[in-house]
């Protein structure tokens, strides 16, 4: 028999955590007079570090190519990035516009404050959240969650019927 109230499950907790971080970041950007979406941060940081293509941004940011492409469309519309022709005519490069560069300079101070806020959060909860999330990510990159679910099913439990795995 399945527990009627399994409590929050992993996916819910991670989504809620991300929503809390993003909404808090967005509120802070707004308070500082910045018209900026938190979802732009991994792309901005990748471009600032020298990435020029969607593939390079994806590799540096650890977010999916689809998410990078969607974010870039928004950033193009907001005038923060632009495409340019690369020497290989089959590919186009991406770079920040002058407006994106100005914004980046303002964001770097915000990102330093973000690191301080995360350190404060980790001190409050008593364990290194970033390390735990990074460790979990590496473990899932090594052995995917689908494989782990399949193994759990082979060991006698039925994850397809257990709402805690959704």
Instruction: Identify whether residues 95 and 142 lie together within a single domain.
Output: no
Confidence of residue 34 (pLDDT cuts 50, 70, 90): very high
SS3 84: strand
Instruction: Identify whether residues 16 and 52 lie together within a single domain.
Output: yes
* CA–CA gap between residue 16 and residue 22 (Å, rounded): 10
Q: DSSP string covering 16-43, please?
A: HHHHHHHHHHHHHHHHTT----GGGHHH
Question: Is residue 115 classed exposed, middle or buried when 0-12, 13-18 and 19+ CB atoms within 10 A define those classes?
Answer: exposed
pLDDT of residue 154: 87
Taking a C-beta distance cutoff of 8 angstroms, is the pair 110, 41 a contact? no
Scan for tokens 């770097």, then name that residue. 108
Range of the domain at 140: 127-166
- Has residue 5 been placed in a domain? no
- Has residue 77 been placed in a domain? yes
Which tokens belong to 58? Answer: 């994806």
pLDDT of residue 68: 97
Over the chain, what is the mean pLDDT? 91
* CA–CA gap between residue 152 and residue 77 (Å, rounded): 45
pLDDT tens per residue, range 73-94: 999 999 999 999 998 877 889 9
Quick check: 166 pLDDT over 70?
Answer: no
């Amino acid at each position: 028999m399945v527990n009627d109230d399994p409590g929050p499950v992993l996916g819910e907790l991670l989504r809620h955590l991300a929503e809390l971080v993003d909404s808090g970041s967005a509120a802070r950007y707004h308070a500082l007079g910045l018209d900026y979406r938190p979802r732009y941060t991994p792309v901005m940081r990748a471009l600032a570090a020298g990435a020029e293509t969607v593939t390079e941004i994806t590799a540096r940011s650890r977010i999916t190519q689809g998410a990078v492409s969607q974010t870039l469309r928004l950033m193009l519309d907001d005038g923060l990035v632009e495409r340019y022709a690369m020497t290989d005519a089959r590919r186009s490069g991406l770079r920040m516009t002058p407006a994106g560069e100005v914004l980046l300079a303002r964001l770097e101070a915000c990102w330093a404050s973000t690191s301080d806020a995360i350190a404060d959060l980790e001190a409050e909860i008593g364990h290194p959240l970033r390390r735990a999330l990074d460790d979990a990510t590496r473990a899932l990159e090594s052995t995917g969650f689908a494989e782990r679910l399949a193994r759990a099913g082979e060991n006698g439990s039925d994850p397809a019927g257990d709402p805690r795995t959704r």
